[in-house]
Structure 1
């Protein structure tokens, strides 16, 4: 039983992303409070984040995130995709996870969709104002080993 618990913990922890200095980046990005507010323009409630100081310190910095591409057919093979910290079935769009578990990725080059977990490096932009974008955006990103 103990071996099974250790194996589950190892699998779970290996699915999280780490920055270049070994910090668990998705864990840091989860330090955000979400407030639902009615948006007059969109005519429905929208999630608005309030970022922790730890998250604010990452704004504009180059970070690495490990995760899975969201299989949006119209985005495959382009320079834009969404990265989820969780496999597709559990991601924000499809499961019970929150908006802090996904990031928009604008890459330097074109990448084909893959079902494998990838590591993406890019410059982080935090977004607290535009409800038409995700709250985490990576610019000039590239997939790294």
Structure 2
């Protein structure tokens, strides 16, 4: 049988837990639970293709769909979220992710939903979505499946 303390203690702690979440800046997701954070559009549709890469095991490399493989060396535009690789106000290299870090409604990020970006001119860090245009490279030797070279930020 449960004691009065066992019943009331969780009820008393619930407001404290809610306050901790609120004070940390976390909010309820503003979109339904889905694989991608941003709505489907011209600058986000490519993420759906890039995420279709297949891994056949630890020994073999990734297999890219023909549509993605055909983009090697082509200029593409992607909208995503900046993840800086170092401290500082401006960055010339960063990770562009399909989903923001810490979104409770999005799938966990993986190497197929991130790309290493090398921009021509350093850009300021932001938590807002950014549109980046550059030359897509597939299977660079940097740990991720994709790299965007000679990239530039566009207006979202």
Separation (CA, whole Å) in 1 of partners of 2:52 and 2:36:
17
Structure 2 unaligned blocks of 5 or more: 1-29
Q: Secondary structure at the match of 2:133?
A: strand
Is 1:84–2:91 an aligned residue pair?
no
**1:5-44 to 2 correspondences below 5 Å:** 8=31, 15=38, 18-19=41-42, 24-37=45-58
Shift of 1:30: 1.4
The residue number in structure 2 matching 1:139 is: 149
**1:102-121 to 2 correspondences below 5 Å:** 102-121=114-133
**1:50-69 to 2 correspondences below 5 Å:** 50-69=63-82
Change (3 A) 1:79 1:23: closer
Change (3 A) 1:82 1:76: farther
Report the structure number with the largest CA radius of gyration.
2
Number of matched pairs: 123
User: Could you state the TM-score of these two structures normalised by the residue count of structure 1?
Assistant: 0.70
Deviations 1:85-143 (A, max 9, x none): 001115xxxx723211000000111011111110000000000xx55431110000001
Separation (CA, whole Å) in 1 of partners of 2:71 and 2:138:
8
Q: Secondary structure at the match of 1:88?
A: coil
Instruction: Give the superposed CA RMSD.
Output: 3.0
User: Could you state the TM-score of these two structures normalised by the residue count of structure 2?
Assistant: 0.66
